[in-house]
Amino acid sequence: MTQNGNPTVERLMQILRELERSPHGLSRTELVEKTGLARSSVYRILNSLEEHRMIRELSTGTFVLGNRVLELANSVTHNSDFFRLAQFLQPELEFLAFKIDQTCKISIMESEAIMVIAGATPKAPHALSYTIGEYLPIHAGGASKVLMAYLPEAERDRLLSRNLGALTDKTITDKNLLAKELELIRKQGWAEDRGEYSLSVCSFAAPIFRHTGEVIAALSIPFMKGADDALRESLREAAVNGANALSKSIEQYSFRP
């Protein structure tokens, strides 16, 4: 516990952290084991969290994070409208992941970095993992390049003026080369990660549009390096078509100006 901290809050955060790490949910017994807290404390905290919709219990008897988490996120981010919408797009994201048998992620620009806010993983041994709330570099990866490509020019130039560190030998660190890559992405409507963030992982990504034509998020489909041309092309098409479908779904919802 931190100095002068509140023991009850610390225990509550332990439980929320474990649920964050387990998107498929944890049972009461598993939470007791993972947190090391007393069974009675875990049960009382779970009851309170469920009452306030911070968590919800699935039919399997496991607990997952609840919709109240998204509502709170709505108050702390300038892209909060998309946090609010993510819960409605989740079934469509899961359908796509199971259809193509690959993990699918949605990312946004947040605090001058790229943040993963939603994802879905099929039940396949090769499916890659993801972490909700994970921050990614602005210059490496499919989703990152899509979101950078569609920024206003002045904002894009300002971010590109930073030191662009190499994460792998595929990372584009030359500002002029990256600017050309972003221009190409805007023209073709999709981006490819050739191992820029992790040498063993590639991806395709495409923009998700607000009804006004503004890009507010990116759909990305990561996959292991070494995929054949046929699979790569099918995943590129899935990223573009999936992002277009999500953009159309967004039109059903109203956004704050």
Q: What CATH number is associated with residue 28?
A: 1.10.10.10
Residue 1 in this model has a pLDDT that exceeds 90: no
The number of folded domains in the chain is 2
d(CA 216, CA 145): 13
* Cβ neighbours, 10 Å, residue 229: 7
pLDDT 10s digits, 34-54: 999 999 999 999 999 999 888
- Of 42, 65, 88, the residue at which a domain comes to its end is 65
- Model confidence over 200-229: pLDDT tens digits? 999 999 999 988 888 999 999 999 999 999
CB atoms under 10 Å from CB of 231, counted, come to: 13
| Torsion sign (Cα): 131, 37, 54, 25 | positive
Helix, coil or strand: residue 215? strand
- The fraction of the chain above a pLDDT of 70, given in percent, is 89
| 59 lies in the same domain as 103 | no
pLDDT the model gives residue 73: 61
- Length of the chain equals 257
Indicate the DSSP class of residue 116: E
pLDDT of 255 reads: 47
> Domain boundary residue among 16, 31, 65?
65
Q: Are residues 82 and 185 in the same domain?
A: yes
